[in-house]
């Protein structure tokens, strides 16, 4: 069983979908750790309820990103995390973690990248008058939502679409797509800490 670590900053509904998939056996993995940069985030309660260990920190307590990422790296090494799963983690991953986990960090984003990267992708799509948007799961590189795309799924944006209704459509896809894609990725055997064996 592969150990994964989930990174979240807020509500954690994707985190919950991943927990449920592990519990039902749909996702063959162990959630070894939740990393959260927002003390008080609801994702932490979800971790506690599921008995998942947490590392919670406040970036303001550190001078540099490197300082808290070193701490995260230490925790990840301790639990033997093999894949890092970003699920609403609202920070860029820095060189400390990228170097160690190159090709082993994935993110989910609520648009069809490369359209609407960054914050409030759903609001951006509506403001642009887009007729469709969707969900992208991609590997993480040093950019903002720029890494190699693994899978995408689209939704239509209706005439009377609101932010709430579009968010609901997108999250319904996310909660199905993320666990199933993680299972496929882990089953393919490409996620390994052997740097030479990594492909994407
Ligand atoms: C999701 O829509 C995800 O695509 C984006 O942040 C949101 C997190 O939602 N990266 P939640 O915290 O999983 O409910």
* Residue 174 beta carbon below 6 angstroms from any ligand 1 atom: yes
Q: What pLDDT shows up at residue 189?
A: 79
Q: What pLDDT shows up at residue 117?
A: 98
Q: What pLDDT shows up at residue 39?
A: 98
- The CA dihedral of 138, 165, 157, 167, to the nearest 10 degrees, is -10
Domains of the chain: 2-199 (3.40.50.170)
Please identify, by atom number, the ligand 1 atom nearest to the C-alpha of residue 43.
12
State the average pLDDT over residues 76-91.
97
Q: Which residue among 14, 42, 164 has the greatest number of ligand 1 atoms within 8 angstroms of its CB, and so is best to mutate?
A: 14
Please identify, by atom number, the ligand 1 atom nearest to the C-alpha of residue 170.
2
- The CA dihedral of 140, 144, 148, 154, to the nearest 10 degrees, is 110
* Residue 136 beta carbon below 6 angstroms from any ligand 1 atom: no
CA of 108 to the centre of ligand 1 (A): 7
Q: Known catalytic residue: 138? A: no
What span, in angstroms and rounded, lies between the C-alpha atoms of 66 and 88?
Answer: 20
Residues 6+ apart with CB under 8 A from 120: none
- At 159-183, the pLDDT tens digits run 999 999 999 999 999 999 999 999 9
Model confidence at 191, pLDDT cuts 50, 70, 90, reads confident
CA of 87 to the centre of ligand 1 (A): 6
- Specify whether the CB–CB gap between 13 and 175 falls below 8 A: yes
* Residue 104 beta carbon below 6 angstroms from any ligand 1 atom: no
User: Helices 13-24 & 163-187, crossing angle to 10 degrees?
Assistant: 40
CA of 80 to the centre of ligand 1 (A): 25
């Amino acid at each position: 069983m592969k150990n994964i670590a989930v990174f979240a900053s807020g509500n954690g509904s994707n985190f919950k979908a991943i927990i449920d998939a592990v519990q039902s056996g749909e996702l063959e993995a162990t959630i070894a750790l939740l990393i959260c940069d927002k003390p008080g985030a609801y994702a932490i309660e979800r971790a506690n309820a599921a008995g998942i260990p947490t590392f919670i920190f406040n970036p303001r307590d550190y001078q540099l990103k490197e300082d808290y990422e070193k701490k995260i790296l230490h925790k990840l090494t301790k639990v033997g995390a093999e894949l890092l799963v970003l699920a609403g983690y609202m920070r860029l991953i820095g060189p400390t973690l990228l170097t160690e986990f190159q090709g082993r960090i994935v993110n989910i984003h609520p648009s069809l990248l490369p359209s609407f990267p960054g914050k409030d992708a759903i609001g951006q799509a509506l403001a642009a008058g887009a007729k469709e948007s969707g969900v992208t799961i991609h590997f993480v590189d040093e950019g903002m939502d720029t890494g190699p795309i693994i899978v995408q799924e689209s939704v239509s944006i209706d005439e009377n679409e609101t932010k709430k209704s579009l968010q609901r459509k997108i999250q319904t896809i996310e909660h199905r797509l993320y666990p199933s894609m993680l299972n496929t990725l882990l089953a393919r055997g490409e996620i390994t800490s052997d740097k030479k064996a990594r492909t994407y």
